Copies of this chain bind each other. A is one copy, B any other.
Amino acid sequence: MSRKWLIKNGAFAVLDANKPVIHGYMLIEGDKITYVGEERPEGVEGAETFDGKGLLFLPGLINTHGHAAMSLLRGYGDDLALQVWLQEKMWPMEAKFTSEDVYWGTALSALEMLKGGTTTFLDMYDHMDQVGKVVEESGMRAVLTRGVIGLCPPEVQQQKLDEAVAFARDWNGKADGRITTMISPHSPYTCPPDYIEKLVQAAHDLNLPLHTHMSETRAEVQQNVDDYGVRPVQHLLNLGVFSRPTLLAHAVHLTDEEIEVLAAHKVTVSHNPGSNLKLASGIARVPELLKAGVVVSLGTDGPASNNNLDMFEEIRLAALIHKGVSGDPTAVPAREALLMGTDYGAKSLFLDNTGRLAAGMKADFIAVNTEQAHFLPRTDYVSHAVYSAGPKDVEHVWVDGKQVVRNGECLTLDEERVRFEAQSAFEGLLSR
Contacts and interface: CB of A to CB of B under 8 A. Distances in A.
Interface of A: 71-76, 78-82, 85, 108-109, 111-112, 115, 218, 274, 276-283, 306-310, 313, 316-317, 319-321, 323-331, 333-334, 371-374, 376-380, 383-384, 387-388, 390-393, 415, 418-419, 422-423, 426-427
A324 B324 contact: no
Contact of A388 (B80, B85, B308): B308
Contacts of A384: 74-75, 307
Contact of A108 (B82, B85, B334, B373): B373
Given A79-B334, A277-B324, A280-B326, 9 more contacts: A75-B377, A75-B383, A76-B377, A76-B379, A78-B333, A78-B380, A85-B329, A313-B313, A317-B320
A378 B329 contact: no
Given A74-B388, A75-B384, A79-B329, A419 B376 contact: yes
State the oligomeric state as a number of copies: 2
A74 B386 CA distance: 12
Contacts of A328: 280
A74 B331 CA distance: 19
Contacts of A109: 373
A81 B329 contact: yes
B280 A426 contact: no
A327 B82 CA distance: 10
Nearest to A383: B75
Nearest to A420: B376
Contact of A74 (B80, B308, B379): B379
8 contacts: A74-B376, A74-B384, A277-B324, A280-B326, A283-B325, A307-B374, A313-B313, A373-B419
A81 B330 contact: yes
**Which of A75, A283, A391 has the most C-beta atoms of chain B within 10 angstroms of its own C-beta?**
A75
A214 to B, nearest CB: 18
A13 to B, nearest CB: 14
A333 to B, nearest CB: 4
Nearest to A331: B280
Contacts of A276: 324
A377 B423 contact: yes
Nearest to A390: B390
A371 B419 contact: yes
Contacts of A310: 374, 390
A108 B280 contact: no
Contacts of A334: 78-79
Contact of A329 (B115, B278, B308): B278
Contacts of A390: 310, 390-392
